[in-house]
Structure 1
Amino acid sequence: MLRNRRTFSSGVQSLTQNKGLADGVSLLLSLATVVKRSPCVDVLTRIGHSIAPNPLNSTPEEAASKEPTPMSERINTESSSQNAQYQPTTPIVAKPAVTLPPPPHNANLTPSSVPSSRMSRLFQYSSLAVGVSLGAVSESLKRSVSFDAESNSSSSLVLSPSNIERIVARLSRMRGAALKLGQMLSIQDSNMLPKEFEHILMRVQNAANYMPDGQLMKVMNAELGPEWQQDRFITFDTTPFAAASIGQVHYATIRPPTSSAAQSSNQSDQPPLAVAVKIQYPGVATSIESDISYLRSLTLMTSILPRGMYLDNTLRVAKMELSWECDYIREAESMRRMRTLVAGMRGVNVPQVIDSLSTEKVITSEFVQGVPIGSIDDIGARMLKLCLEQLFTFRFMQTDPNWSNFLYNKESDTIQLLDFGAAREFPETFTKPYLKLLKAASTRDRAGSIKYSEELGFLTGLESETMINAHLNSLFLLASPFDPARKGTPFNFSNQNITSSVRADIPVMLRERLTPPPDESYSLHRSLSGSFLLCSRIGARVDCASLFAEYAARV
């Protein structure tokens, strides 16, 4: 994903959370997106749609009696005091269910094979680089003989209309690192990125490509055995209902897993259980290092991002997060852990993992119904509360802000949390001073804000007065919803005008900044900005100050 003077963008939500962010823009830059809905952010609803509804048409077949080996017996179960608290919950016991949820449908998906070997991926990136270079030469020649003032403007030769088409087509096919980087950059304020680059982000993230049947069968045969359709499922729709940067999600039905005490009962009397099966694209996990290297070269070739966005730091964090998202064992453990953590919260749920049908490349979980949370206009406060609780209480957060990863079930008044590939912990050494920073900023405490900005690494202490003033001005504006003086008064996100004020400081910060922000801020601000943007999108009125007061009282 290339862009005028900025960087190649690969993600198209896992991700996000999300999961995007201000590569090198300190707290202000990352938080700047919090207050404004960028066109790039709409793209997030396309990415990481991990376990939500879409199409199916499989023929039911009786599942064999063969009992699959549970994931806990097959896969990495390293013991640690922390993991011990989040052991898999007891198997789902069949309930006298009513009817299965209807198969989800998505008519916008297109089959396209994923280059799976390192050589095939190198070929794709190399040919893209050659094609873009030739396209730039062609555009230059065209402009030299054109009398059209617009075509002779200073707009990018690299990001010409023909090159944009080349980039979109190639990156949509590559998935993986290309889409992840774009996801990270797509959270930025739209005014920071060239319009052509925004267009690439939008197009790539909206591209709904999925593995054709041949590739799908090869992956599933390797993970669940050659007879997986007959032995493991009653029905399985080979057309996914969602496709993202790392994998695609299918609807299926199975016989409900039972406890050993219930195994003697007649399973045929138990109704089928609807599940979502997330399958990882082949080659994505093993090509992270090389993909990031290719993307860096392409990005430098086009000089898309300004110096202040710290390309190398963004790529390093993207590589780390991508490796997490490709680790389905880690994701399954994160789902179980978060399911336990939110069990006491009203109206919040995480689907249960089906261990016997989950491996390093496949995650199967309960199928949950709902509508993307962006279409609900009365739960902004609950989403903001969830964000603060994850950061300051759990210190464990689902960091992909893709709105499709949060479904709302109106009947049960429950928010379903999906896609935990980018879930991560935050050390108390980060969350405690970060809470102090937000508290200081909410009261416009200049000395405290500088102190904690330096402690966290957003500032070095050597910045110019111009940079410090721009940093503090943006920080105070962005923390204004938490101002204790506003306690009891709902903050109207649909009527806020913070973004235009913050935008004026961005050029100064890009020019004057001396250091990239701490690594934790990338995923944190992606999640925090996602919560604010959601509230803005649905026009929520939230008493943010009262919500924040509970946490501010801890420091």
Structure 2
Amino acid sequence: MARVPRNSVSRTARLATLPIGYGARQTIGLGKRVGGASAEAVTAQIQEQTAAQIFKVLGTLKGGAMKVGQSMSVFEAALPEELVGPYRTALTKLQDAAPAMPVKLVHKQLTEQLGSRWRSYLRDFDDTPVAAASIGQVHRAVWKDGRPVAVKIQYPGAGEALLSDIAQLSRVMRLTTSWVPGLELRPLLEEIRERMREELDYTLEATMQRQFAAAYADDEWYAVPNVLADTPGVIVSEWIEGIPLSRIIAEGTNEQRDLAASLYLEFLVAAPGRAGLLHADPHPGNFRLLPDGRLGVLDFGAVNRLPEGMPAAMGHLLTAAVDADADELLAGLRAEGFVRESIDVAPEAVLDYLSVFVEPLQDNAFQFNREWLRSVFNRINDPRSPNFSVGIKLNLPPAYLLIHRAWLGGIAVLCQINGVAPVREIINDYLPGSDLPPV
């Protein structure tokens, strides 16, 4: 991988190769079918080549373009199998196996960030990255005291690329959401830009990681690696060995799936009350199941600071939805800014819209799976359904942006894991304001 393309023109040109390339492959495929090749074989070949191009283009662009690819890899669980199946492997690779920086550029970054003697305290540095994602890549090394470490290095140009993509995203969102009456877009876009800038600050990320590590030190069920050194472009952390969630999603046993689902959900819900922070980047590449049964948590670039824990209003809203108290639910949504004052919507319509989201809370345990998530997306995204008109009347308050990202992404990952979790118990125990009676 060469340097990350930074300006909007070159990045847009790279993205344009996706539909152009797909069209060219379809034309060639038509010729092959005319020549006698089976439609199934030609379609499979086109899908394989398209998946490879998606991985190459988004992986090379890094920044916001690759973050979109990572989101696609999480939310593929909501799409029909015949549509997403051929692309699942390529999208999953974007979580931690994207095209990497050349070795020469890696060494240059380490010299600029850690000084010319970086090898004196990073012994046995492995030039081949173990993970490469949207903003940086990770290498394995040995710290000067003999501990194995993970060295996270930011791509040069990643900041400009990410902010360029966010600027383009803002323009697109202004055009495509102008017809959505419930959405207040300007403060939301400002919040997105500010959170993306924070993800580029490795010094801030190291501070967040230290806070998580202190909160979960010597924990029976969770492992957060300690930070040993950091600069604006490099973080050196303890190495933790485990099975990535992506592998459990692909080939895990039922026991592994249930354990991973339960620990993953509990961490997302309980961490704000314990650490004062919400991990807001829940894709599978950031979690490992360790040999001792603990869940290892990585990558703290996207973190929501919640010193008082999760808002108690969330627990109140979930309880009202489970209790089918439509008036209380709508009043709470208005108080938090999810329904703006100018929006007219019936309480019963809002309750019906949200009822599918609280299905996992109707019993003591719930198995998240792709079929359930697809049914949710189909129900709320069908323009012919009354639920669609309710959905466009809802707002996303900026204060809830990262909470929404973490919970929505977390639910999608849980559906990929396909495990059984005590959802009602976890919500009741760890979400402030929740008061769900025994089933």
Same fold (TM over 0.5): yes
Change in 2 beyond 3 A, CA 1:447/1:395:
farther
| Range moving further from structure 2, 160-169 or 401-410 | 160-169
The answer to whether the aligner puts 1:114 opposite 2:15 as a matched pair is no
- The alignment partner of 1:475 has SS state of helix
Q: What is the TM-score normalised by the length of structure 1?
A: 0.61
Structure 1 residue identity aligned to 2:165:
D
Residues 537 and 286 of structure 1: CA distance in aligned 2, closer, same or farther (over 3 Å): closer
Across the aligned residues of Structure 1 and Structure 2, the Cα RMSD in angstroms comes to 4.3
Match of 2:234 among 358, 362, 379: 362
- 2:372 and 2:87 mapped to 1: Cα distance? 28
1:128 and 2:14 correspond: yes
2:297 paired residue number: 417
- Provide the residue aligned with 1:276 in structure 2: 150
The partner residue of 1:491 within 350, 363, 366 is: 366
1:206 Cα offset (Å): 2.8
Written as runs of structure 1 = structure 2, the 5 A alignment for 1:312-461 is: 316-343=190-217, 345-355=219-229, 358-373=230-245, 374=248, 375=252, 376-379=256-259, 380-411=261-292, 413-426=293-306, 428=308, 431-461=311-341
- After superposition, the C-alpha distances for 1:435-477 in whole angstroms (9 at most, x for unaligned) are 21112112222112111111122212444547x5453223222
Describe the superposition over 1:53-89 as per-residue Cα deviations: whole angstroms up to 9, x where unpaired: xxxxxxxxxxxxxxxxxxxxxxxxxxxxxxxxxxxxx
Judged with a 3 Å threshold, the aligned counterparts in structure 2 of structure 1 residues 452 and 406 are, in CA distance, closer, same or farther, namely same
Secondary structure of 1:248 counterpart: strand
What is the alpha-carbon distance in structure 2 between the residues aligned to residue 137 and residue 554 of structure 1? 52
The amino acid across from 2:140 in the alignment is: Y
Partners of 2:312 and 2:431 within 8 A in 1: no
Whole-angstrom distance in 2 between the partners of 1:240 and 1:141: 37
Change (3 A) 1:217 1:250: same
Please say if residues 279 and 304 of structure 2, whose CA atoms lie closer than 8 Å, have aligned partners that are also in contact. Answer: yes
- CA–CA distance in structure 2, aligned partners of residues 203 and 241 of structure 1: 17
Change in Cα spacing, 1:124 to 1:509, as seen in structure 2 (3 Å) is farther
Name the SS for the 1:354 alignment partner. strand
String of CA shifts for 1:20-43, please: whole Å, max 9, x gaps: xxxxxxxxxxxxxxxxxxxxxxxx
Distance 1:326 1:135, change over 3 A: same
AA aligned to 1:365 is S
Distance of aligned partners of 1:284 and 1:381 in 2 relative to their CA distance in 1, 3 Å threshold: same
The residue identity in structure 2 corresponding to 1:419 is D
* In structure 2, C-alpha distance between the alignment counterparts of 1:492 and 1:129, rounded to whole Å: 37
Contact 1:307 1:510 in 2 (8 A): no
Q: Which residue of 228, 235, 245 maps to 2:134?
A: 245
Q: Would you say the 8 A contact 1:434–1:456 is kept in 2?
A: no
TM-superposed CA distance for 1:385, in Å, is 2.2
Closer/same/farther in 2, CA of residues 352 and 185 from structure 1, 3 Å limit: same
Give 1:138 deviation, angstroms: 8.3
Aligned partner of 1:519 in structure 2 is 398
Deviation at 1:333, TM superposition (A): 0.6
Instruction: Output one character per residue of 1:460-517: Cα deviation in whole Å (capped at 9) or x when no partner.
Output: 2444547x5453223222223334xx4xx43343598475256323335554523531
Higher RCO (Cα < 8 Å, 6 or more apart): 1
TM-fit CA distance, 1:537? 3.8
The one of 64, 84, 89 equivalent to 1:177 is: 64
> Higher Cα Rg: structure 1 or 2?
1
The residue aligned with 1:213 is: 103
Give the Cα–Cα distance (whole angstroms) in 2 for the partners of residues 419 and 279 of structure 1.
12
CA pair 393-451 structure 1, distance change in 2 beyond 3 A: farther
Q: Per-residue CA shift, 1:249-277, capped at 9, x if unaligned?
A: 00101222xxxxxxxxxxxxxxx211110
Pair 1:546–1:132, CA change in 2 (3 A): closer
DSSP-derived class of the 1:209 partner:
coil
Mapped to 2, the partners of 1:135 and 1:495 lie a distance apart of 30
The answer to whether the 8 Å contact 1:249/1:278 transfers is: yes
TM-superposed CA distance for 1:198, in Å, is: 9.8
Question: C-alpha separation between the residues in 1 aligned to 2:179 and 2:19?
Answer: 22
Percent identity over the alignment is 24
**Pairwise CA distance, 1:364:** 0.6
Would you say the 8 A contact 2:4–2:155 is kept in 1?
Answer: no
Look up the equivalent residue of 2:368 and give its one-letter code.
Answer: F
Distance 1:393 1:440, change over 3 A: farther
CA distance in 2, matches of 1:536, 1:137: 32
Q: In the aligned structure 1, how far is the partner of 2:61 from the partner of 2:124?
A: 29
**2:425 maps to what in 1?**
546
User: Which protein is richer in helix relative to its size?
Assistant: 2
Shift of 1:172: 2.2
Deviation at 1:237, TM superposition (A): 0.6
Distance 2:189 2:89 in 1: 20
Alignment size in residue pairs: 403
SS at match of 1:504: helix
Letter in 2 for 1:500: S
Instruction: State the Cα distance separating 1:240 from its structure 2 match.
Output: 0.3
TM-score between both structures, scaled by the size of structure 2:
0.76
Displacement after TM superposition at 1:170 (Å):
3.4
Give the distance between the partners of 2:345 and 2:354, measured in 1 at CA: 15
1:80-229 aligned within 5 A? 112-115=1-4, 118=6, 121-128=7-14, 169-184=56-71, 187-188=74-75, 203=90, 206=93, 208-229=98-119
Distance apart, 1:410 and its partner CA? 2.4
**Cα distance in 2 for residues equivalent to 1:192 and 1:311:** 28
- 1-side partners of 2:422 and 2:104: how far apart? 52
Letter in 2 for 1:180: K
Partner-residue secondary structure (3-state), 2:203: helix
Residues 1:392 and 1:328: Cα distance change in structure 2 (over 3 Å): same
